[in-house]
Amino acid sequence: MKNTSLGYKDTSLILVLQGHFKGELNLARVKLICLFITALCKTKTINYDRIASAFDTKADKNSSYRRIQRFMKDFDFPMKVVSMLIFNLLPFKEHLVLVLDRTNWKFGEKNINILMLGVSYKNVAFPLMFKMLDKKGNSDTQERISLIKKYIQWFGTQSIDCLLADREFVGGKWIEFLNNEKIRYHIRSRNNFTIYSYQKQDEIKAFWLFNSLKVGEFYHYPKIIALHGQRCYLSGTKTIDRKGKIEFLIIISFNKPEQAMEYYKQRWQIETLFRGLKSSGFNIEDTHVTDLDRLEKLFSLTMIAFVWCYKIGDYLDENIKTIIIKKHG
């Protein structure tokens, strides 16, 4: 019979947390975080009562429940500390493909809206940092810029290969910021966006450059164009939507548009992350917490739990028994 114990230092959660939070958190806090994450991985729910029941401790459930409440109410759990932990758990620290997206749900009349920056890793995005948006609908340019500026401050632009994002994340000031920072990007654009073609010396609709393509054919336009006054490259493909209508997948890029489609395929990995945090994993949508400060702490703990589960799965897959990925993910 195979030994399935994880067995060495960096597979012990308490040792990893102690090493990372040394000088930041006292041992009691570290142990509570460890108990919470372990219980969350067992129960797959963010219900405090069920998590408290799953604490691996001699204390009774009510005592554990009160510890959770005090942590959420009183403890300062900075985003930087969490992001640094997750970054340190990555097996590589450079050439990172970043993915930006937004997820939301509604509790009563309260809109819970989260702008997330993740790192592409083995068919999923590791959640790295986020911004709680106290509103309904899309993020604005400054919120995106602020998130990326924090990333640069903490991890440096030299760690970035490129940034991926969907159609929501296109705008003049946003693209100007990425261009000025020389951050490579592959971002989907809307089909009907007007661009300026320097070759044609005129404004045209973006999809006109891809009209003659066959369905499934990919083309990168070799000339620089301007979108919202910002210079970039375009590439795209012609597809058929669910209703049988012709649609275009058009991507704007900082450079190397011929690589855009292969990179952009990784964008869906953040959708896998959101499913893991929500209905297919930890069911964070079930929380009744609406206070943004407490919800931010809960979300941070859930992020750590997600990454830890994936890292343990990685270890088991490589050292114990190959994990078969189901077709539905």
Confidence band for 288, pLDDT divided at 50, 70 and 90: confident
Do 97 and 120 meet the contact criterion of CB atoms below 8 Å apart? yes
Helical packing angle, 269-277 and 292-319, nearest 10°: 110
Give per-residue pLDDT as tens, 76-88: 899 999 999 999 9
110-151 per-position pLDDT tens digit:
778 899 999 999 889 999 999 988 766 667 899 999 999 999
In the sheet with 96-107, reading across from the earlier edge strand, the strands are 124-133, 110-121, 96-107, 160-165, 185-189, 246-253, 230-240, 218-227, 194-197, 202-205
Q: Is residue 71 part of a domain?
A: no
Is the model's pLDDT at 56 over the cut of 60? yes
Residue 159 is assigned to a structural domain of this protein: yes
Residue 7 has pLDDT above 90, yes or no: no
pLDDT at 241 (0 to 100): 87
Query: Is 19 within a domain?
Result: no
- Per-residue confidence band for 107, with pLDDT thresholds at 50, 70 and 90: low
pLDDT in tens, 218-273: 999 999 999 999 999 999 999 998 888 899 999 999 999 999 999 999 999 999 99
Domain annotation covers residue 148: yes
Between 219 and 104, residue with greater pLDDT: 219
- Tally of domains in the chain: 1
Cα four-point dihedral sign 97, 160, 278, 317:
positive
pLDDT at 143: 93
Residue 136: the pLDDT is: 66
To the nearest whole percent, how much of the chain has pLDDT over 70?
90
- Residue 178 neighbours by CB under 8 Å, 6+ apart: 148, 163, 185, 254
Position 285 in a domain: no
In a domain? residue 137 = yes
What is the pLDDT, as a whole number, of residue 110? 73
What pLDDT sits at residue 4?
Answer: 30
Q: How confident is the model over 284-295, as a mean pLDDT?
A: 83
Residue 9's pLDDT is what?
A: 39
146 in any annotated domain: yes
Is residue 284 in a domain?
no
Task: Say which CATH number the domain at 214 has.
Answer: 3.90.350.10
Question: Residue 328: what residue type?
Answer: H
Q: Is the pLDDT of residue 179 over 90?
A: yes
In Å, what is the CA distance from 26 to each residue of 19, 20, 22, 32, 58? 11, 12, 8, 10, 20
Q: What is the mean pLDDT of the chain?
A: 87
- pTM for the whole structure: 0.89
- Write down the pLDDT at residue 8: 39
Residues 247, 190 contacting (CB under 8 angstroms): no
- Write out the residue range of the structural domain in which residue 189 sits: 87-270
| Residue 328: predicted pLDDT | 47
pLDDT digits (tens, 9 = 90+) for 180-220: 999 999 999 988 899 999 988 899 999 999 999 999 999 99
